[in-house]
Structure 1
Amino acid sequence: MKGGNSYSFRGKHVSLALVAIVLFSALMWTWERNPIATTLRSAQEWYYLPSEFPVEAPIESVGNPSLEKGATKSIAPITENRTKLQLDTEGVAAVNSIPAKSPETRYNQHVTSSRSKVGTTSLEKGVTKSIAPITENGTKLQLDTEGVAAVNSIPAESPKTKYNQIVASSRSKVCNYAKGKWVADSRRPLYSGFGCKQWLSSMWSCRMTQRPVFSFEGYRWQPENCEMQDFDRTAFLRKMQDKTIAFIGDSLGRQQFQSLMCMATGGEESPEVQNVGWEYGLVKPRGAIRPDGWAYRFPETNTTILYYWSASLSDLVPLNISDKQSDVAMHLDRPPAFMRRFLHRFDVLVLNTGHHWNRGKLTANRWVMHVNGKPNEDKKIAEIANAKNFTIHSIVRWLDMQLVSHPRLKAFFRTISPRHFFNGDWNTGGSCDNTIPLSNGSEIMQEGSIDSTIEGALKGTKIKILDITALSQLRDEAHMSRYTVRGTLNSSDCLHWCLPGIPDTWNELLVAQI
């Protein structure tokens, strides 16, 4: 009896257990099937992102959400323009999928800081595709394999596309340094003519002369289709660290050299700058008025700036070294010995020639034209214009071949500096008394160079043209004119320029192209 009751009691317990299991299974099955269960999903999945709310608000309120088994796709947040943001595998919207009109900047800032605060969201097996974001104009963004919008598929309204359009537009407009206009600039000149006595020849420092007007100093050259950076001497010396820039040419080349020395020092006394002319053999010979050139080094950056006088850019060799009155062989087809000897030490080379190519200069200097190592017998080459053209083409060909073995060297050939003698020439009473800036115009619109000889010689070579002729032609008021330190002369220098002055602009164009 007792035994029977015991078995009956146990049977009831077993029945109740089975009923409980069945009910629990039914409840769980109903729970999974019941739509009410979706109310427990992550707040981040449902949150709509209005523009006035910070992005981190919904993200920081999420603990560690996990999607229920069987979910087929996730619902992404929507921005103020109703664009859905595609979530990556960490539950954070992919930055590249944000459309152009969404608050992208704020979003990026907050997403970066909040990634570490968000738990890992695992996408359940069975997710077959993600919803591609749609922009306000209805364009779908093409997603790559990770669900992030591919950059190239961003519509035209996006910042990247606009940036590319701007770049493409600027590339189509070539910066022509010789084409542009002179504009007034109250920040000029770049240095003081009073302060740069250490580097300026007194005859070219107009502030030290009796000249009454200096309005020519207040202008800068603005090239077309490009913004030329203001000259910064610190940046220039840093750019030229451990480098040498060499000017080889006539007295206008010397002016450009002195101009750059004043620009690099700010027109201030610079006792730390070293005279290293001896390294290049630039020392004044006994009985000479001056050396054949100068070389100075800025020790802090190891930058060397030098000038070598070679008015014709041809190799000059006395026919009789022991006779000071001897004729000098002017080898038209051979570059100066100085240039051949030290070319390997140059990083930037600027050549110029022009104003010494006249019969009077050649006769006074006793220069005798030589070609192929012997006196020239070609009457055609003997003509001054042809001899100049022959020499320029010869040195350009030689230098262009040397650039193959000197890949770091940047070579420039400066075009001729214009003269402004009115009512005569330099020896017949010509003058340049105008003091009004830009009285003949301020703008250059032509494409090619006025100096067709230099331009033609450089075609097809790796040597760059430093075209300063046309822009300098507009500045007849900026020459030395008739003013000197001692007073006013009857004759005028309408070839050389006041410093500070136009050669500063030549150097700005040079530095911009280095």
Structure 2
Amino acid sequence: MATDKIKEKISPSKQEVCNYAKGKWVADSRRPLYPGSGCKQWLSAMWACRLMERTDFSYEGYRWQPKDCKMPEFERSSFLRRMQDRTIAFIGDSLGRQQFQSLMCMTTGGEESPEIENVGWKYGLVKPRGAIRPDGWAYRFPSTNTTILYYWSASLSDLVPLNATDSTFDIAMHLDRPPAFLRQYIHQFDVLVLNTGHHWNRGKLEANRWVMHVNGKPNEDPELADIRNAKNFTVYSIIRWVDSQLPLYPRLKAFFRTISPRHFRNGDWNTGGNCNNTVPLTGGNEVNEDGSSDKTVEGAVKGTRIKILDITSLSELRDEGHISGYKPRPSKPVKAYKVPNPTEIVNDCLHWCLPGIPDTWNELLVAQV
């Protein structure tokens, strides 16, 4: 009997019930995990708020403390040893790209690392002629043979040009089919992190010329014509597909990250909306709910082997951590300054400053891998 009780206390199934999304933000003088003015090798300048006109960086000085879980401090050499001979893949939208860049900065400490190999070519991640950037990046740490990669798939649906030789044609958006990249390379992944959400609006679909398809033909279901229903259908579809693949790849651990909150106030991105608060935690510092506020992802992973990476409510408390309306510092002195009209400033209240909130997403990921 005593042995059974001990087993019950240390049982992995008991460990897995820990809700990492329930807890509070606490001040920590050891933050951030990498220098905000560094990590230029991996961090996009448009997300490096230390290099912008912003002067308040108090948002960097907090860590997330789960209520009922022990979450060890991230330590890069330990992380690399744990991830030896493994590949971590982020597949999703630009917020997935932020999480990828965050992990690269965390794992290198923001230091220049010429020894790290660009292995994007192994995954077809090369910049096409005329493109602004490739569809993703992949980097290998040779000391531990650890690869971290990102692939852009904003909708997590399979996008197939209706005319491969003419770029002016529409693109079939197969809601019930995972991206070809995922189907092709899933056997090489050991940790998979998926996300989608903010590209599911009529403007994005029309701008990208995405035409929804189901069962290999244009969608005829009036319910799926609703963008929200189409997004939810896709989330459920890809989770079911990944779950069906897990028995084939026993080493693979798959996560679906919940949606990252937007914090526009007094308008949207194109109507003067802003997120210019710089005081941390004005809306409180705790999450006490047991369930996720992203009910779609929570429902989709239920009964599957896919784990939820629940970051929505804890990120909702951090409205001061966005790019906001800050711009890069001018390289040359400005002779004359014109005060801009507030409605002309495009605020980014979707993406986050780095270092910042996505670092916490990665800490939660590492704790659960």
Does residue 1:262 correspond to 2:117, yes or no?
no
CA distance in 1, matches of 2:115, 2:368: 28
Give the root-mean-square deviation of aligned CA atoms. Answer: 2.0
Deviations 1:421-456 (A, max 9, x none): 000111111000100000000000001101000000
Partner of 1:370, secondary structure, is strand
Q: Which residue of the partner structure matches residue 217 of structure 1? A: 60
Deviations 1:351-406 (A, max 9, x none): 00000000000000000000000001111111100100111111111110001111
CA distance in 1, matches of 2:205, 2:228: 13
Q: Which residue of the partner structure matches residue 333 of structure 2? A: none
Q: Which residue of the partner structure matches residue 248 of structure 1? A: 91
Q: Which residue of the partner structure matches residue 356 of structure 1? A: 199
Per the TM alignment, residue 173 of structure 1 is displaced from its structure 2 partner at its CA by: 10
Q: Which residue of the partner structure matches residue 379 of structure 1? A: 222
Q: Which residue of the partner structure matches residue 429 of structure 1? A: 272
Q: Which residue of the partner structure matches residue 397 of structure 1? A: 240
Task: Choose which of 18, 22, 25 in structure 2 pairs with 1:179.
Answer: 22
Task: Choose which of 333, 347, 352 in structure 2 pairs with 1:497.
Answer: 352
Going from structure 1 to structure 2, the CA distance change for 1:461 and 1:327 (only over 3 Å counts) comes to same
CA distance in 2, matches of 1:271, 1:492: 35
Task: Choose which of 124, 130, 141 in structure 2 pairs with 1:298.
Answer: 141
Task: Choose which of 117, 127, 147 in structure 2 pairs with 1:274.
Answer: 117
Does residue 1:454 correspond to 2:304, yes or no?
no
CA distance in 2, matches of 1:482, 1:403: 43
Going from structure 1 to structure 2, the CA distance change for 1:225 and 1:296 (only over 3 Å counts) comes to same
CA distance in 2, matches of 1:510, 1:424: 33
Task: Choose which of 331, 345, 362 in structure 1 pairs with 2:188.
Answer: 345
Partner of 2:205, secondary structure, is helix
CA distance in 1, matches of 2:289, 2:218: 41
Going from structure 1 to structure 2, the CA distance change for 1:171 and 1:311 (only over 3 Å counts) comes to closer
Per the TM alignment, residue 175 of structure 1 is displaced from its structure 2 partner at its CA by: 2.2
Partner of 1:361, secondary structure, is helix
Going from structure 1 to structure 2, the CA distance change for 1:303 and 1:320 (only over 3 Å counts) comes to same
CA distance in 2, matches of 1:214, 1:235: 28
CA distance in 2, matches of 1:402, 1:506: 25
Partner of 1:509, secondary structure, is helix
The 5-angstrom pairing of residues 41-52 of structure 1 reads: none
Q: Which residue of the partner structure matches residue 365 of structure 2? A: 510
Structure 2 residue ranges without an equivalent (≥5): 331-339
CA distance in 1, matches of 2:178, 2:8: 47
CA distance in 1, matches of 2:323, 2:229: 30
The 5-angstrom pairing of residues 44-83 of structure 1 reads: none
Q: Which residue of the partner structure matches residue 315 of structure 2? A: 472
Structure 1 residue ranges without an equivalent (≥5): 1-150, 154-160
Q: Which residue of the partner structure matches residue 168 of structure 2? A: 325
Partner of 1:448, secondary structure, is coil
CA distance in 1, matches of 2:197, 2:15: 34
Deviations 1:18-74 (A, max 9, x none): xxxxxxxxxxxxxxxxxxxxxxxxxxxxxxxxxxxxxxxxxxxxxxxxxxxxxxxxx
Check whether the contact 2:8–2:14 (CA below 8 A) recurs between aligned residues: no
Partner of 1:382, secondary structure, is coil
User: What TM-score, normalized to structure 1?
Assistant: 0.67
CA distance in 2, matches of 1:336, 1:460: 23
Deviations 1:221-263 (A, max 9, x none): 0001122100000010000000000000000000000000000
CA distance in 1, matches of 2:243, 2:15: 28
Q: Which residue of the partner structure matches residue 61 of structure 1? A: none
Partner of 1:380, secondary structure, is coil
CA distance in 2, matches of 1:357, 1:294: 24
Partner of 1:379, secondary structure, is coil
| Identity across matched positions, percent | 74
The residue identity in structure 2 corresponding to 1:504 is: D
Partner of 2:187, secondary structure, is helix
Partner of 1:397, secondary structure, is helix
Partner of 1:484, secondary structure, is coil
Moved over 6 A (4+): 163-168
Check whether the contact 2:176–2:214 (CA below 8 A) recurs between aligned residues: yes
Check whether the contact 1:423–1:430 (CA below 8 A) recurs between aligned residues: yes
The residue identity in structure 1 corresponding to 2:183 is: R
Partner of 1:491, secondary structure, is coil
Deviations 1:320-353 (A, max 9, x none): 0111111000000000000000000000000000
Partner of 1:377, secondary structure, is coil
Partner of 1:403, secondary structure, is helix
Task: Choose which of 247, 251, 255 in structure 2 pairs with 1:408.
Answer: 251
Going from structure 1 to structure 2, the CA distance change for 1:448 and 1:330 (only over 3 Å counts) comes to same
User: What TM-score, normalized to structure 2?
Assistant: 0.93
CA distance in 1, matches of 2:230, 2:181: 21
**Matched residue count:** 355
Check whether the contact 1:174–1:225 (CA below 8 A) recurs between aligned residues: no
CA distance in 2, matches of 1:175, 1:215: 29
Going from structure 1 to structure 2, the CA distance change for 1:368 and 1:193 (only over 3 Å counts) comes to same
